[in-house]
Structure 1
Amino acid sequence: MKPPFFEILAYEPTDLGMLCLRRRELLCEPGTIVTEVTLNHEFLMSSYLTASEKALSEIALQMHSGSSLRVLIGGLGLGYTSWTALESDRVSQCEVLEFLPQVINWLKQDMIPLSGKLNADNRLTITQSDIYQQLASPPDKRYDLILIDVDHSPDEKLDDGNGHFYTAEGLQRAKLHLEENGVLGIWSYAESPRFADALHEVFREVRIEPVTVFNNLINEQQTDWLFFARD
């Protein structure tokens, strides 16, 4: 019997630990090839289930009725949040801040599934930077949508230095980067009542959206959580 396909595309040290980009055939779905990212040998993201990453952009766009929207995204990942934003003709500019230069290079080198589409869209700019540091600083420009998919959850962060963002004080600073009627959106793999309370303290409207899918890899349903806020 032919062994399932498995390929390591990149295995690189980063400031957060060992980062791996791999491509493999799913044992539960022979013939289905997925691209996955691990950090310090722990699963981080996959091209297999992307509903919640897409919904982060989709719901934020539904919440904003404007046009010529300027979007700021924290975390490039495999690009599904960015591409979903760019699929809207109401988006005039999409700026992505990615902390890890290795992830940016994967896109430039056409190593992720959406590379072709993303590299061809001149509305997209990608900068190696820390989204949390930028939102903690006084704004030099403002955005209609700010979407963040970096940490596992507000209570399980990739870097402890990100923690201040999830407080009322941190959210107040981030709010200054939003245009009038702007929407802030945050991805999480878990609920966080503490973070929800901080959002309610700072914003007039808070919306929490669970996104549930059936994961064949573990043979059970899984739910990610999206937090949205605006004034």
Structure 2
Amino acid sequence: MAFAFEELDFQTTPLGDISLRRRAEPRLAGRIVYEVKLNDDFLMSSLFTESEIQLARMGLAALEGDALDVVVGGLGLGYTAVEALANPAVRSLTVIDVMAPVIDWHRRGLVPLGPTLTGDPRCSLVEADFFARAGAPGKGFGEGTSDQRVHAVLLDIDHSPSHWLNSGNCLFYTDETLGMLADKIHPGGVFALWSNDPPDDAFMQLLGRVFASSEAHVVPFPNFYTGGESSCSVYLARTHA
């Protein structure tokens, strides 16, 4: 019998039950699809990755230099992180995810991009709360108390600035916390955020109060289920020079 469906992992986390599934998609000639579910919600799919890739591509395209230190908030299936590593200007990449199982999938090679991330010496996978580190005054994104800045922060955790994976994440989307995040980025550096929703005027106003400049991009991609096109958003904000 041809391969149809397999649950590769199932674990209970503080946010709920998370599972990694692999299946064949008959509508795409049996293409193998990887999916992540948290409780009853689908978090991500390897069928739809264009906006995650564009998060890294757009965020890093706005920077100059050949020794960039980058932080990615949210590992997922790894598409944003791998696209960041494809940029030869990236010197170091720190990927922060609060869910140990997700990091474990990459280290065990259960997801296709795991070997790429774990095999690149520039890349570190860190189990931690990105939002706690972003909002900690006087500290960087590392383990210690260093205030060392990075050149770019690429964030893909919540569904949107107003639709959070965890209700406590709402505290990140404030002038105070985004201001502390901006302090961890080099002058002229970039904060980029993925959103499943169209650009939001209220969030753009918030970015405008904290950062020197901001813009929102709609990223279209083909929807294999509808036969049409869907879209996500990428916000780009630059710190004061």
TM-score under structure 1 length normalisation: 0.96
Q: Is the 8 A contact 2:107 2:115 kept in 1?
A: no
Quote the RMSD (CA, aligned, Å): 1.2
Q: What secondary structure, in the 3-state scheme, does the structure 2 residue paired with 1:28 have? A: helix
Mind listing any 5+ residue stretches in structure 1 that lack a counterpart? none
Q: Does 1:135 align with 2:142?
A: no
Counting only pairs closer than 5 Å after superposition, residues 112-127 of structure 1 correspond to structure 2 as 112-127=111-126
Where 1:156 maps in the other structure, the secondary structure is: coil
- Structure 2 CA distance for aligned equivalents of residues 33 and 117 of structure 1: 19
Is 1:85 matched up with 2:92?
no
| Residue in structure 1 matched with residue 225 of structure 2 by the alignment | 217
- 1: CA distance between counterparts of 2:30 and 2:166? 36
Q: Deviations over 1:104-147 (max 9, x none)?
A: 11011100010121111000011110111101012322110101
Counterpart residue number, 1:178: 185
Q: Does residue 229 of the first structure (1) align with residue 228 of the second (2)?
A: no
The CA distance in 2 between the partners of 1:67 and 1:60, in whole Å, is 15
Question: TM-score when scaled to structure 2?
Answer: 0.92
Aligned to 1:144: 151
How far is the alpha carbon of 1:160 from its aligned partner?
Answer: 1.1
C-alpha contact (below 8 Å) 1:4/1:27 kept by paired residues: no
Q: Deviations over 1:27-60 (max 9, x none)?
A: 3112200111011121110111211101011001
Amino acid at match of 1:122: P
2:164 maps to: 157
Q: Aligned partners of 1:214, 1:89: CA distance in 2, in Å?
A: 28
Q: Which ranges of structure 2 fall in alignment gaps of 5 or more residues?
A: 140-146
Q: What is the SS of the residue equivalent to 2:225?
A: coil
Summarize deviations over 1:1-52 as a string: whole Å, max 9, x none. Answer: x666111001111111110100011131122001110111211101112111
Question: Identity rate of aligned residues, in percent?
Answer: 35
Contact 2:204–2:215 at 8 Å: present in 1 too? no
Q: CA deviation at 1:218?
A: 3.4
Question: Shift of residue 67 of structure 1?
Answer: 1.6
Q: List structure 1 segments (4+ residues) > 2 angstroms apart after TM superposition.
A: 217-220
